[in-house]
């Protein structure tokens, strides 16, 4: 049954159907609506048995999730922006310990300057923390990916972040088919932890590991991520069979087969991008769009397969690495043979600046005409820059 | 014939041998079937007060929980010396996550057990003073105010010994550490700084707060048993001298802990729901100087010249404790 | 696609209005997307929310830049921000005011601006001057896209009981007032 529902509430209802046993929460915009809704579900008894723990920081939120997961509970939390950074140490710990925690990241910029609006700086900053990262294109995907995330996390014993654009998705009310409780139960078996804190079989979890084995631990972490590439694709197929609708697995190609130029992007900007490409296709510009659902692991082979012989790649980035440029671009360059292709980075929508069809059309027109530079900041306000420069001189 | 006074105690203690007690009053450690929760073979230094305390705490907690115990450990000496991969000294379920999050991780374990209806299993968190009173303090306070069903034990050796003896919020005034060096006109740690974690714990009005030392291990066991008989957030703060960090000989660890209590510099007490309910009276009151002299971290108070001014300030602090916790009001 | 922009002040239910409009459209079998202008605005600050309605799934995520309809929940905003910016050539505007368009100095715009005393209707029916439900009723008269019945259903679903009934009454009265203005103008 479809509902006209806020993205955050859709995610909360879906997470509840995944039957987490411990949910911990610390408020930060724009994630708060999700845990608020979950707190009501627990308090009212609709989600039971479940402990809802109001913690004193994001660091504690992840730590409570770590303890809960190690004790065999399905654990969930949500955060954004500064909160994700504040739990950074615990993120590495959760993945290092192989704890299948699922967390929503309501993507938001990182300060200073403080900014509560959407971009991908938060999740991208944690790209190497060993978590799987899945990005939702719309609220249907945001809901569905959580079901897939719990299954994936528990199968591989590794934590998964579901990234959904803050405000743009979390606060958007649109039609979502909530995953049915029966189907979720069919798709997501009971959590069987690989290791468990159990007096009947005491184990030591989190021992100190020296140079003699640390490299091997990291190698295995990489192997887990590579194993996830295959699992994500399979689980997406299985999701379709169970729920009767597709969920994007590793990548989602759109009009790529005959495209000269393929635009690669993550998250909610894909919708606007597809509308823009449709408009430009009418004018005869052979464009395609490739959405990345999985960013960690990086789906290099799926990308290579989807972009085919496209001569030009535009990577639309919602975050960037100062002093380098595009973050996704760098991964792409490392993963793909780029010889014979031109790769452009377009940094767009930082700190909530709207990414409009008009601006995208300008950039893509320039790309198709071969006049787009290697690194472009979309809608950069030159007047503001001159003003700032003048202030600095004074 | 002149009667001879029989001394029941050795090394100056008043402890009576277990064999004179009925079986149900004997120490957990005297039980040959005790769990040995922290078993031999670990890598602690000779004379480590923390290893001794942890063994007593965990075996008592294991007995109190009938073997249904899960432990969470902060980063620190205890974690490092007990789990050199691929070995472990722990014979209890044991989880180490990070330095600053042990109370929160323990809260998570407790929440999971509650959600799974495994409430027969009890949770014990443990860490050093750095992990407890400094970097983990926010998590500890959060665990306290939520009333999570966890006994948290702080093994206080008054500094960051694992990283090379740096100052913590539990380091006493005038003590030399590697970040409060014994140089300049006011050598060692600064006066007027530091905090009492037990008193702050009491301010949370949690069911049980107690202090103990390794000088009175039977008292330590009793306090673990008492804490385990209650539910909710409970806090036990144990003074554990560190030969490395304090500059004392390995054989004097217990004696130094005893002098800490006998001088009044470390008050031993219990509190329930935020109210002081009992304090252990000093049985042989000593000046703080007896305590300080055994530790190289205070050597600059005696060499090259005696710093009476500084010693007097430390004595004043001990006297304040004696008054505040009524340490000389009972038998003296 | 039909795009609506709603202006108001924090606390006036601007975001709720956009959401209810989307729910009403959803009930008529259409696709709809409602979203706020994502600020950290406090009570009383200018707030904007958007709603898109279409026959097909909506992928677009940019703000509504060329609204087909604009709702102004607080008449004082007319002097403070360019609330009519980007109005589509045949777009319509509904202002919460007991005064006429001429009295507000908005006589231009080819008669595409309408007023309705939504706060007063709310005060009369609900007991509080929360104009959003009444304005949705007025908007239903203007746009035809979402019938009054769907608006009523959305309001009732969101506010069960007496509060819902009162808001529905305010919406219905606003609908009829705007409907009457439309008729009048078509005869003029």
User: CA of B29: how far to CAs of B35, B73, B250, B268, in Å?
Assistant: 9, 22, 21, 21
What is the pairing mode between strands B94-96 and A204-205? parallel
Quote the minimal CA–CA distance from B231 to chain A in Å.
17
* pTM (predicted TM-score): 0.95
Interface of B with A (CB under 8 A): 67-70, 72-73, 79-80, 83-86, 88, 90-98, 100-101, 104-117, 121, 138-139, 141-142, 146
What is the pairing mode between strands A294-296 and A132-135? antiparallel
**In this complex, do A208 and B146 lie within 8 Å of one another by their Cβ atoms?**
no
* B78 neighbourhood in chain A, CB within 8 Å: none
Q: Which residue has the tokens 């290697």?
A: A374
Quote the minimal CA–CA distance from A307 to chain C in Å.
22
All chains having 3 or more CB pairs closer than 8 angstroms to chain A? B, C
Q: Do chains A and B touch (3 or more CB pairs under 8 A)?
A: yes
* A270 neighbourhood in chain C, CB within 8 Å: 59
Q: Which residue of C has its CA nearest to A173?
A: C34
Q: Could you confirm whether domain B33-324 is CATH 3.40.50.970? A: yes
**In this complex, do A172 and C62 lie within 8 Å of one another by their Cβ atoms?**
no
What is the pairing mode between strands A102-107 and A75-79? parallel
**In this complex, do B111 and A53 lie within 8 Å of one another by their Cβ atoms?**
yes
* Closest-CA residue to B286 (of B251, B314, B306): B314
Q: Which residue of C has its CA nearest to A117?
A: C38
**In this complex, do B70 and A197 lie within 8 Å of one another by their Cβ atoms?**
yes
Query: How many alpha carbons fall within 13 Å on the CB side of residue A170?
Result: 30
**In this complex, do C62 and A168 lie within 8 Å of one another by their Cβ atoms?**
no
Q: Which residue of C has its CA nearest to A174?
A: C33
Of B95, B106, B112, the CB nearest to A206: B95
Asked if B224 and B207 count as a contact pair (C-beta separation under 8 A), the reply is no
Q: Which residue of B has its CA nearest to A19?
A: B115
CA end-to-end span of chain A? 62
List, for residues B208-236, the tens digit of each pLDDT value. 999 999 999 999 999 999 999 999 999 99
Q: Do chains C and A touch (3 or more CB pairs under 8 A)?
A: yes
Mean pLDDT calculated for residue range B256-268: 98
Q: Which residue of C has its CA nearest to A4?
A: C23
Sign of the C-alpha dihedral computed for residues A307, A312, A316 and A317 taken in this order: positive
Domain borders along chain A are 2-243, 251-383
**In this complex, do A167 and C36 lie within 8 Å of one another by their Cβ atoms?**
yes
Domains identified in chain C and CATH numbers: 2-187 (3.40.920.10)
Q: How far apart are CA A318 and CA A133, in angstroms?
A: 15
Interface confidence, given as ipTM, is: 0.95
All chains having 3 or more CB pairs closer than 8 angstroms to chain C? A
* Closest-CA residue to C128 (of C47, C45, C50, C13): C13
Q: Left if phi > 0, otherwise alpha if psi is -120 to 50, otherwise beta: which for A176?
A: beta
Average pLDDT, chain B: 94
List, for residues C21-34, the tens digit of each pLDDT value. 999 999 999 999 99
**In this complex, do C33 and A356 lie within 8 Å of one another by their Cβ atoms?**
no
Of A60, A71, A207, the CB nearest to B109: A71
pLDDT > 90? residue C188: no
pLDDT band, very low/low/confident/very high, at B5 (cuts 50, 70, 90): low
pLDDT band, very low/low/confident/very high, at C185 (cuts 50, 70, 90): confident
Q: In the numeric block, which tokens belong to residue B90?
A: 């722990």
Whether cis (ω within 30° of 0) applies to the bond prior to A30 is yes
* B111 neighbourhood in chain A, CB within 8 Å: 22, 24, 51, 53, 64, 67-68, 73
Interface subset of C 19-48, CB within 8 angstroms of A = 19, 22-23, 26-27, 31-36, 38, 40
Q: Could you confirm whether domain A2-243 is CATH 3.90.180.10? A: no
* A199 neighbourhood in chain B, CB within 8 Å: 67-70, 92-93, 121
Q: How far apart are CA C158 and CA C27, in angstroms?
A: 13
A93 interfaces chain B, CB cutoff of 8 Å: yes
Asked if A163 and A120 count as a contact pair (C-beta separation under 8 A), the reply is yes
**In this complex, do C19 and A6 lie within 8 Å of one another by their Cβ atoms?**
yes
Confidence at residue B166, expressed as pLDDT on a 0 to 100 scale: 97
* B39 neighbourhood in chain A, CB within 8 Å: none
* A171 neighbourhood in chain C, CB within 8 Å: 35-36, 38
Of A57, A93, A199, the CB nearest to B69: A199
What lies within 8 Å, CB to CB, of A305 at 6+ separation is none
* A10 neighbourhood in chain C, CB within 8 Å: none
Of A57, A65, A89, the CB nearest to B108: A65
Of A167, A174, A357, the CB nearest to C33: A174
Quick one: fold of A251-383?
A: Rossmann fold (3.40.50)
* B113 neighbourhood in chain A, CB within 8 Å: 71
> How large is the C-alpha radius of gyration of chain B?
20
**In this complex, do A4 and C22 lie within 8 Å of one another by their Cβ atoms?**
yes
Element (H, E) at B138: helix B137-146
Instruction: Concatenate the DSSP letters of all residues of B246-267 into one string.
Output: HT--GGGHHHHHHHHHHTTSS-
Domain borders along chain B are 33-324
Angle in degrees, CA B212, B78, B198, rounded to 5: 30
Mean pLDDT calculated for residue range C165-179: 96
**In this complex, do B86 and A207 lie within 8 Å of one another by their Cβ atoms?**
yes
Torsion of CA B44, B45, B49, B52, to 10 degrees: 40
What is the greatest pairwise CA distance in chain A? Answer: 71
List, for residues B80-101, the tens digit of each pLDDT value. 999 988 999 999 999 999 999 9
Which among A18, A69, A159, A202 is the top mutation candidate for probing chain B, defined by the most B β-carbons within 10 Å of its own β-carbon? A202
Confidence at residue B331, expressed as pLDDT on a 0 to 100 scale: 43
Q: Which residue has the tokens 């994007």?
A: A248
Listed as ranges, residues in chain A with pLDDT below 70 are: 338
* B69 neighbourhood in chain A, CB within 8 Å: 199
Of A2, A30, A271, the CB nearest to C61: A271
List, for residues B100-140, the tens digit of each pLDDT value. 999 999 999 999 999 999 999 999 999 999 999 999 999 99
C147 interfaces chain A, CB cutoff of 8 Å: no
Q: Tally A–B CB contacts below 8 A.
A: 157
**In this complex, do A168 and C34 lie within 8 Å of one another by their Cβ atoms?**
no
* A51 neighbourhood in chain B, CB within 8 Å: 111-112, 114-115
Q: Which residue of C has its CA nearest to A3?
A: C26
Percentage of chain B beyond pLDDT 90 is 88
């Amino acid at each position: 049954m479809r509902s006209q529902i806020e993205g955050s509430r859709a995610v909360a209802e879906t997470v509840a159907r995944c039957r987490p046993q411990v949910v911990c929460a610390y408020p930060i915009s724009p994630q708060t609506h999700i845990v608020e809704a979950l707190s009501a579900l627990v308090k009212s008894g609709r989600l039971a048995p479940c402990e809802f723990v109001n913690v004193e920081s994001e660091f504690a939120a992840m730590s409570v999730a770590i303890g809960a997961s190690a004790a065999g509970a399905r654990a969930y939390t949500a955060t954004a922006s500064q909160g994700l950074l504040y739990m950074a140490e615990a993120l590495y710990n959760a993945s290092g310990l192989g704890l299948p925690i699922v967390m929503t990241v309501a993507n938001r910029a990182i300060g200073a300057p403080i900014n509560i609006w959407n971009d991908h700086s938060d999740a991208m900053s944690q790209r190497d923390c060993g978590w799987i990262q899945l990005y939702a294109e719309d609220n249907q995907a945001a809901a569905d990916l959580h079901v897939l995330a719990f299954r994936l996390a528990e199968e591989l014993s590794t934590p998964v972040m579901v990234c959904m654009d803050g405000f743009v998705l979390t606060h958007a009310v649109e039609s979502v088919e909530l995953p049915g409780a029966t189907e979720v139960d069919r798709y997501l078996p009971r959590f069987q932890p690989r290791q468990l804190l159990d007096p009947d079989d005491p184990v030591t979890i989190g021992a100190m590991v020296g140079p003699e084995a640390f490299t091997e631990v990291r190698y295995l972490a990489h192997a887990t991520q590579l194993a996830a590439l295959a699992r994500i694709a399979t689980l997406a197929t299985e999701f379709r069979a169970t729920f009767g609708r597709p969920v994007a697995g590793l990548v989602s190609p759109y009009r790529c087969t005959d495209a000269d130029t393929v635009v690669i992007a993550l998250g909610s900007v894909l919708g606007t991008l597809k509308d823009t490409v449709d408009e430009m296709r009418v004018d005869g510009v052979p464009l395609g769009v490739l959405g990345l659902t999985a960013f960690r692991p990086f789906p290099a082979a799926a990308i290579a397969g989807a972009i085919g012989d496209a001569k030009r790649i535009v990577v639309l980035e919602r975050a960037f690495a100062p002093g380098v440029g595009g973050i996704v671009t760098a991964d792409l360059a490392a993963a793909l043979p780029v010889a014979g292709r031109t790769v452009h980075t377009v940094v767009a929508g930082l700190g909530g600046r709207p990414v409009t069809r008009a601006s995208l059309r300008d950039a893509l027109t320039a790309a198709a005409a071969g006049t787009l530079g290697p690194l472009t900041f979309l809608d950069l306000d030159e007047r503001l820059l001159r003003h700032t420069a003048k202030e600095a001189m004074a | 014939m002149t009667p001879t006074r029989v001394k029941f105690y050795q090394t100056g203690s008043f402890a009576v041998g277990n064999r004179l007690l009925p079986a149900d009053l004997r120490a957990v450690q005297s039980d040959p079937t005790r769990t040995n929760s922290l078993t031999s073979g670990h890598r602690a230094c000779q004379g480590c007060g923390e290893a001794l305390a942890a063994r007593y705490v965990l075996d008592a907690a294991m007995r109190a929980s009938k073997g249904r115990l899960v432990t969470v450990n902060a980063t620190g000496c205890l974690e490092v010396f007990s789990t050199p991969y691929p070995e472990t000294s722990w014979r209890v379920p044991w989880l180490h996550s990070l330095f600053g999050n042990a109370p929160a991780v323990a809260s998570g374990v407790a929440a999971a057990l509650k959600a799974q209806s495994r409430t027969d299993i009890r949770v014990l968190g443990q860490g050093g003073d750095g992990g407890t009173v400094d970097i983990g303090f926010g998590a500890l306070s959060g665990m306290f105010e939520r009333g999570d069903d966890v006994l948290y034990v702080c093994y206080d050796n008054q500094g960051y010994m694992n990283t090379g003896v740096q100052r913590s919020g539990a380091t006493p005034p005038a003590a030399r550490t590697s970040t409060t060096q014994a140089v300049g006109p006011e050598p060692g740690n600064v006066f007027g700084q530091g905090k009492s974690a037990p008193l702050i714990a009491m301010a949370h009005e949690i069911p049980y707060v107690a202090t103990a030392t390794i000088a009175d291990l039977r008292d330590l066991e009793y306090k673990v048993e008492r804490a385990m008989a209650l539910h909710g957030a409970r806090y036990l703060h144990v003074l554990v001298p560190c030969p490395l960090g304090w500059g004392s000989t390995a054989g004097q660890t217990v004696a130094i802990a005893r002098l800490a209590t006998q001088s009044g510099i470390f008050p031993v007490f219990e509190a329930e729901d935020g109210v002081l309910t009992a304090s252990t009276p000093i049985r042989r009151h000593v000046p703080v100087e007896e305590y300080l002299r055994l530790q190289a971290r205070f050597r600059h108070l005696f060499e090259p010249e005696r710093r009476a001014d500084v010693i007097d300030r430390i004595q004043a602090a001990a006297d304040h404790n004696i008054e505040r916790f009524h340490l000389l009001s009972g038998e003296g | 696609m039909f795009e609506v922009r709603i202006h108001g002040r924090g606390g006036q239910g601007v975001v709720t209005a956009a959401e209810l409009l989307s729910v009403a459209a959803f009930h008529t079998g259409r696709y709809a997307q409602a979203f706020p202008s994502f600020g950290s605005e406090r009570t009383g600050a200018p707030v904007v929310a958007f709603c898109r309605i279409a026959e097909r799934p909506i992928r677009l995520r940019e703000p509504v830049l060329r609204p087909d309809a604009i709702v102004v929940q607080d008449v004082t905003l007319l002097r403070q921000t360019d609330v009519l910016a980007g109005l589509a050539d045949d777009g319509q505007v509904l202002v919460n005011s007991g005064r006429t368009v001429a009295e507000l100095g908005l006589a231009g715009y080819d008669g595409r601006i309408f007023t309705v005393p939504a706060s007063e209707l709310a005060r009369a029916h609900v007991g509080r001057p929360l104009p959003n439900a009444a304005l949705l009723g007025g908007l239903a008269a203007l746009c035809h896209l979402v019938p009054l019945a769907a608006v009523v259903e959305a309001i009732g679903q969101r506010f069960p009981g007496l509060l819902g009934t009162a808001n529905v009454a305010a919406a219905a009265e606003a609908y009829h007032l705007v409907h009457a203005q439309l008729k009048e103008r078509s005869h003029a």
